[in-house]
Copies of this chain bind each other. A is one copy, B any other.
Amino acid sequence: MGFRSKAATERPAGLGSGQLMDPRIARSHASVLQAATALLVEGGPDALTIDGVVARSGVAKSTVYRHWATRDDLVADVIRECAPRVEPLPGGLDFETALHALTRHLVAAMGDPQWRRMIPALLLLRLQHSDVAQIDEQLKTDQHDLFATVLRLGVQEGALDRTVLDDVDRAMALLVGPVLMAALVDSAPLDDEFADEVASQYLAASRQRV
């Protein structure tokens, strides 16, 4: 993932955390990232070329290569920047409301048009690009953990069979799948109503099972 990029977003050694880095670096870094993101979103991975970024951002090619060692590093950074952050849910919720909060959080994350356009690129690049593969795995495990805690809640309340915890991924397929499909194919609007429908559907099925 290009340590140069990391170095550009952190402070140089020997500076306090209040101390900001060279604003020139921040500027060019941000400009490049923005242009690269736009290109990736609009035209897919092939459209994200160095020359394209140079033309669109107004940043010189030499500067781009000062921040990213290679084009692949830039691509990975763009995806990493756009990927939704998985944040834990507030504690103290009962299972049903937690599940609804989870699906709502999900549709909100997948609703970001930039991210929606980036998902196919992520699915493709992760197969050949180890950095992108790592981003994908990170995202997956974070979501997995989040779902596991919510499902554990359901088990504790007796609403779910204990065995769901043995196959969290399967439950995720049932819950995330519809949202992913809606995001990829525009088969349903990504609003809270849809989120609630997905959650309710899962709950209805689990009630019947128990």
Contacts and interface: CB of A to CB of B under 8 A. Distances in A.
Q: How many copies does the complex hold?
A: 2
Interface string A90-123: 0000000000000000000000000001011101
Contacts of A187: 169-170, 172-173, 176
Given A43-B128, A44-B128, A128-B43, A173 B169 contact: no
A178 B140 CA distance: 16
A185 B172 CA distance: 10
A62 to B, nearest CB: 26
Given A177-B177, A178-B173, A200-B205, A184 B43 contact: no
Among A117, A167, A181, find the residue whose CB has the most chain B CB atoms closer than 10 A: A181
A182 interface: yes
Interface of A: 43-46, 117, 119-121, 123-124, 127-128, 140, 167, 169-170, 172-174, 176-182, 184-185, 187-188, 194, 197-198, 200-202, 204-205, 207-208
- The list of the 7 closest CB pairs from A to B, nearest first, reads A177-B181, A177-B178, A177-B177, A201-B205, A120-B123, A169-B187, A204-B205
A173 B182 CA distance: 6
Contacts of A128: 43-44
Given A169-B188, A181-B180, A201 B198 contact: no
Contacts of A184: 123, 180
8 contacts: A45-B124, A119-B123, A170-B194, A170-B197, A172-B187, A177-B177, A201-B202, A204-B207
A170 B120 CA distance: 21
Contact of A188 (B120, B170, B178): B170
